[in-house]
Structure 1
C-alpha cells in the first residue's frame, strides 16, 4: 500500500481520481490547489503525486518544479494532467492529456508506483501494533510501583523534596513515552479510528490553550482567532492530542508561543509559532520521522501529530529559520 497525493481544483474530478487510486488499494491525500499540494507533500512525503496543471495559487507545472527541486521529494514520481499542455513537461514522470481513459490512468498509477522510491515511514502491520501494546503493558507494572514508592517517600518525608520532584517528572516522561509508543504503533498499523463530530474548532483551541496557560504560566500564550464560529468536522480528543504535541514542542523554548487560527470556505489552518532558535535544514528533513535519537524532532509527538492531521484529511508542515523561531501549520479541509 502506498500514499498518493492527488491535486485538482475541481471537486468532482478530485473525487473521481481519488476513488480510482483507492480502488487500486492505496491511501489518498487530497489537495485543492497547488500551494496546498506543496504543503501536504512536504508534510506527508507521498510515494506518488498526481496533479492537474491549471490550479490556483500554484500551477501543476510549478508544483512539479518545486517538488523536483526539493532534496527529499525530488525522486517522487509525478503524473501531470492537463487539457492545455499538449505534450506535458520534462519535470513530470508521466503525462496524461485531458480527457483520458480511466484505464490509462490506472496503468500510469501502477507503473509510477512500481518505480517510486520506498517510503521512509513506519510500515503498518498487526505485528507493530502488538509490539506497541506489549511495551505499554510491560511498562505499566514498574511505573505503577515506582509511582507508589515516590508517593510513600513524599508522605513519610524521608527524602529530599527536590529529588522527589525530579523523580516524579521523570516518571511522567516515561509514562508519556509509553503512551506515545503505543499510539505510534497503532497509527503505523492503521488501526486508529477517528470519532469526528461537527464542532467549533475555535472553542476547542481556546480550551486547549487555557489548559496550557494554567500549567505553564511562565510562557506567554497568545491566540489570534476569528470571532465567528469555525465549524469543522473533527475528532476533539485526537485533535487535542495533535495540538498538545505542537504546543509542547513550542513551549520548550520559553518566551511567547503564538497560536493562529485561520479559516476560509475550503480550509482551516492552525499555526503554532515559537521564538526559539529555529531548526536547521537537516533537522527539518527528518522532523516528522519516528524514533530519532537527539535533534529537534526527537521522540514521537511530532510523528503522531502529523499522522493525526493526515487522518483528518489534512496535513502538518513546518517552516523554520535559524534565529527566527519555528512555525507548525495544521491544514484541515472543510467539507
Structure 2
C-alpha cells in the first residue's frame, strides 16, 4: 500500500480520481490547488503525486517544478493531467491528456508505483510545521462538505441569494485562514524554498494592483512606476504573496478613507516598493508588532498573518519590510529588495 496525493480543483474529478486510487488499494491525500498539494507533500511525503495542470494559486506544471526543486521531494514521481498541454512536460514522470480512459489512468498508477525509487531517510517535520499541516488537513473534510452543500444551495430555485452569498464569503474566509496558517507554519519552520528567476518586477506588481482594483473597485489604487524594466532575481509566486499582503493591509485600512498609492523605485543596488494608505494608521506601540504573527486588530476580521508572511518572504529574498505610521495619518509599508 502506498500514499498517493491527488490534486484537482474540480471536486467531482478529484473524487473520481481519488476513488480509483483507493480501489487499487492505496491511501489518498486530496488537494484542491497546487499550493495546498505542495504543503501536503511536504507534510506527508507521498510515494506518488497525481495533479491536474489548470489549477488556482499554483498550476500542476508549477507544482512539478517546485517538487523537483525540493531536496526531500525531488524523487517523487508525478503524473500530470491536462487538456491544454499536448505533450506534457519534462518535469513530470508521466502524462495523460484529458479526456482519458479510467483504465489508462489505472495502468499508469500501477506502473509508477511498481517502479518507486528507494525511500530516502527523511527527518520528521518540525513541530510548528506539523501543527500547521494538521490544522489544514483537519479542516479539509468539513470545508469540502460545506462547499458541496453550498453548491446545492446555489443550484436551488427558491433560496435566499443574499444568505447564500454570505455563506460563500464565510467559506472562502475559512479556506483563506487554513492556507495562511499552513503557510505561516512552514515559514516559521524554515521549510519554504524559493524558485527564483531573473525577470522584470514591474508587470508582476502591475498585475497585483489590477487584481486588487478589480476586487475592491470602491478603493482608488494609484500606481507609479519607472519608465523602463526593473530587473530582479525573485520567485514570482512568492513575490505575489508579498504584494498581496501589502495591498490587503492598505486596502483594508484605507477603505472609505482615501486612495492607496503604490510606488516602485529602482536604484542601482536596491528596489523599493512603497504602499501608502490614508487610514487610521498605527500607534507607536503597535508598530514594533506589525510584522509579528497573530497581530490582528480587534476590528480587523483578518488572520493577523498577512504581514508576517509577507515579511518572512521578503527576508527569504534577502530583503525586508519596514513601516512608517502615525495615528490618523495613514501608514506606509516599504518592501526593500537587493539587486544582483
> TM-score w.r.t. structure 1 length?
0.61
Measure, in 2, the Cα distance between the counterparts of 1:292 and 1:279.
12
Structure-to-structure mapping, 1:61-76, within 5 angstroms: none
What is the aligned partner in structure 1 of residue 274 from structure 2? Answer: 271
Deviations 1:229-288 (A, max 9, x none): 100000000000011011111111323111000010000000111111111111112111
Query: Considering only aligned residues, what root-mean-square deviation do their CA atoms show, in Å?
Result: 1.5
Give the match's secondary structure for 2:291: coil
Give the match's secondary structure for 1:277: coil
Deviations 1:181-229 (A, max 9, x none): 0001100110100001001111111111111122221111110110111
Larger RCO, structure (CA 8 Å, separation 6 or more): 1
Measure, in 2, the Cα distance between the counterparts of 1:185 and 1:281.
28
What is the aligned partner in structure 2 of residue 302 from structure 1? Answer: 307
- Cα distance change on mapping 1:188 and 1:285 into 2, 3 Å: same
Measure how far apart 1:148 and its partner are.
1.4
What is the aligned partner in structure 2 of residue 328 from structure 1? Answer: 333
Measure, in 1, the Cα distance between the counterparts of 2:144 and 2:158.
20
What is the aligned partner in structure 1 of residue 147 from structure 2? Answer: 147
What is the aligned partner in structure 1 of residue 199 from structure 2? Answer: 199
Measure, in 1, the Cα distance between the counterparts of 2:325 and 2:199.
31
What is the aligned partner in structure 2 of residue 220 from structure 1? Answer: 220
Measure how far apart 1:293 and its partner are.
5.2
Structure-to-structure mapping, 1:50-199, within 5 angstroms: 126-199=126-199
Give the match's secondary structure for 1:146: helix
Contact 2:177 2:303 in 1 (8 A): no
Contact 2:283 2:327 in 1 (8 A): yes
> TM-score w.r.t. structure 2 length?
0.60
Measure, in 1, the Cα distance between the counterparts of 2:315 and 2:207.
23
Q: Is 309-318 or 280-289 further displaced after alignment?
A: 280-289
Contact 2:180 2:303 in 1 (8 A): no
Query: Which stretches in structure 1 are left out of the alignment for 5+ residues?
Result: 1-124
Measure, in 1, the Cα distance between the counterparts of 2:325 and 2:296.
20
Give the match's secondary structure for 2:193: coil
Measure how far apart 1:155 and its partner are.
1.0
What is the aligned partner in structure 1 of residue 295 from structure 2? Answer: 292
Measure, in 2, the Cα distance between the counterparts of 1:228 and 1:328.
23
Give the match's secondary structure for 1:322: coil
Measure how far apart 1:159 and its partner are.
2.9
